[in-house]
């Protein structure tokens, strides 16, 4: 049953709306250092009981933080008349409440989604400069978790409607997703970052 909900969640991620706005085009995202708000993660053998994430950071392999953001405290559920629309209420990333909770013993894939506007800032614009080998750090009420980015790239919206490896529940997997924006224009893709618990 949980696998089915995860599959629906990823399908819904591909129907993200609200990628465009009428404000001036911001500078492209980059990997410039920003202040980190999450302390050093504990050693990998420390158990972190599953809990909702409250802060997320993206770090280069050398430890430089290039994105740091609070996560909306309200878990995100499907919306729209069809129940197949995912629309975070503000610029903050949101934990997809129908996916797994992050923790060292989590058996389900965790999904965090966020907006990427064509003409205004949002934290998840940084997904576009994320690289394999980067680190995703999640802060939860029960502890800090670190994930290593395995793959990044665009997927056509709707591509997960059929059979897709990302639809499987995988222990320790984290997926980040947003609308893909290229050269200041929304595309027909979502940008996906897949990471694995360290």
CATH number where 66 lies? 2.40.260.10
Task: Check pLDDT > 60 for residue 8.
Answer: no
130 domain-assigned: yes
**Both tokens assigned to 27:** 């500078």
Would you say the C-alpha torsion 145, 151, 152, 157 has a positive or negative sign?
negative
101 domain-assigned: yes
Total domains in the chain come to 1
CB environment 107-144: b (16+ within 10 A), e (fewer): ebbbbbbbbbbbbbebbbbbbbbbeeebbbbbbbebbb
Q: What is the mean pLDDT of the segment spanning 115-127?
A: 79
100 domain-assigned: yes
Q: Is the pTM of this model over 0.75?
A: yes
27 domain-assigned: no
Task: Check pLDDT > 70 for residue 114.
Answer: yes
Task: Check pLDDT > 70 for residue 24.
Answer: no
Rounded CA separation 6/171 (Å) = 13
26 domain-assigned: no
Range of the domain at 7: 2-17+47-197
> pLDDT tens digits, residue range 64-105?
999 999 999 988 876 655 555 566 777 899 998 888 999 999
37 domain-assigned: no
């Amino acid at each position: 049953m949980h696998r089915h909900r995860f599959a629906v969640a990823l399908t819904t991620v591909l129907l993200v709306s609200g990628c465009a706005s009428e404000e001036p085009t911001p500078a492209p995202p980059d990997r410039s250092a920003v202040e980190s708000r999450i302390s050093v993660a504990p050693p990998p053998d420390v158990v972190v009981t599953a809990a909702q994430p409250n802060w997320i950071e993206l770090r280069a392999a050398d430890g430089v933080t290039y994105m740091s953001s609070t996560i909306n405290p309200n878990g995100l559920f499907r919306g729209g008349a069809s129940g197949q629309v995912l629309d975070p209420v503000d610029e903050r990333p949101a934990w997809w409440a129908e996916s797994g909770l992050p923790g060292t013993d989590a058996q389900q894939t965790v999904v965090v989604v966020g907006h990427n506007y064509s003409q205004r800032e949002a934290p998840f614009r940084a997904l576009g400069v994320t690289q394999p080998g980067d680190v995703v750090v999640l802060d939860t009420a029960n502890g800090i978790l670190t994930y290593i980015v395995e793959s990044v790239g665009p997927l056509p919206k709707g591509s997960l409607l059929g059979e897709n490896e990302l639809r499987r529940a995988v222990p320790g997997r984290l997926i980040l997703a947003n609308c893909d924006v290229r050269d200041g224009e929304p595309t027909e893709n979502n940008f996906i970052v897949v990471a694995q618990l360290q």
